[in-house]
Amino acid sequence: MSAQLNFEVPTMAEMIAKGKEPEILFWVGCAGSYDERAQKTTRDICKILHHVGLKYAVLGTEESCTGDPAKRAGNEFLFQMQAMTNIEVLNAYNIKKIVTGCPHCFNTIKNEYPGLGGNYEVIHHTQLIQQLINEGKLKAEGGESFKGKKITYHDPCYLGRGNDVYEAPRKALEALDAQLVEMKRCRSNGLCCGAGGAQMFKEPEKGNKDINIERIEEALETQPQVIAASCPFCMTMLRDGVKMKEQEQNVQVLDIAEITARANGL
C-alpha cells in the first residue's frame, strides 16, 4: 500500500485549459485536504476513480470550506459567504455532478447550496463505490483479502440520519465477503462520534465521559478486527477512542474507500 500516487490528480483549471470537461468533480473537503489521516482516504478515493477510468477532477487550491462547521456553530453569515463563493467557482466551471469524501460537505452541498443558487447532483464516496460495485467495475479482488474478517460499521450522522444513506457503505463491505457485525446502536439509531455540529473544533462540555469513548466501547463489544468509517471526523474520533482503550494493535479504523482500495490492490 504505497501512500504515494503514481498518477497526476487532474484539477478543474487544467481540464478547462485543455478544453476537457470531467464527468464528476471530487470535492475533497478541508479534512481530506489537510488532516494527515484523512489525506490517505482522499488519495484512495483518487486511486479508485483513476482505476475505474472515471473522468474526474478536483478544484485543488480553488476549493474552500463548504461552511458546514460555521453553519452548525450558528454563524450563518460566514456560512453563506463561503457557500456563495464556492457556488460561483462551481458554476463557473459548469459543474453538474459532485462526489464528496465527507458526509458534512455532502450534506451541505446537496441540501443547503440549492437554495443559494448551487444545483448539483451530489453523492458521497460510499455511494459512488456502491455504484461501481454494482456496475462490476470494482470487484474486491487482487488485493488484501478481508474474507471472514470481523468488520463493524459506524454510521456518520450526516450520512445516515441526516440523509438516509445506510445501505451504500454496507454494500461496499458486503462485497468483501467479510463478516459484517452491527453495533447495538446502528443505522437510524446510531450513536454520534461526538464531532458533529462543530464539536470537532472545541473541547466537549463537562460530563461523565467523552462521546467517542462511549461509542468505541460499543464498537469494541463486537470484537471487530476493523472499524469502518466513512467520515473524516468520525475517523479522528474513533481512532482517538481506540488509542485511549489501547487497542491499536488489535483493531484498525479504516475508511470504506481505504478498505475498497486495499481489497482491489490499488
In the complex, what is the shortest distance from the CB of residue 89 to another protein, in angstroms, rounded to a whole number?
11
Q: Which amino acid is at 7?
A: F
Q: Which amino acid is at 178?
A: A
Q: Of 50, 51, 64, 97, which lies in the binding site for another protein, with binding defined by CB under 8 A?
A: 64
6 touching another protein, by CB under 8 A: no
70 touching another protein, by CB under 8 A: yes
String marking each residue 24-63 x if it binds another protein according to CB under 8 A: ----x-x-xxxx---x--xx--x-----------x-xx-x
4 touching another protein, by CB under 8 A: yes
Say if residues 50 and 110 touch (Cβ distance below 8 Å).
Answer: no
Residues 166-185 that bind another protein (CB under 8 A): none
Distances in whole angstroms, Cα of residue 92 to Cα of each of 17, 85, 95, 113, 164: 13, 11, 8, 15, 30
Say if residues 159 and 68 touch (Cβ distance below 8 Å).
Answer: no
- Stretch binding another protein (CB under 8 A), from 91-99, 111-119, 134-142, 144-152: 111-119
11 touching another protein, by CB under 8 A: yes
Say if residues 156 and 230 touch (Cβ distance below 8 Å).
Answer: yes
Q: Which is nearer to another protein, 96 or 185 (CB)?
A: 185
80 touching another protein, by CB under 8 A: yes
Side-chain-side CA neighbours of residue 250 (13 Å): 11
Q: How many CB atoms lie within 10 A of CB 18?
A: 9
204 touching another protein, by CB under 8 A: yes
Per the listing, cell 460510499 goes with 126
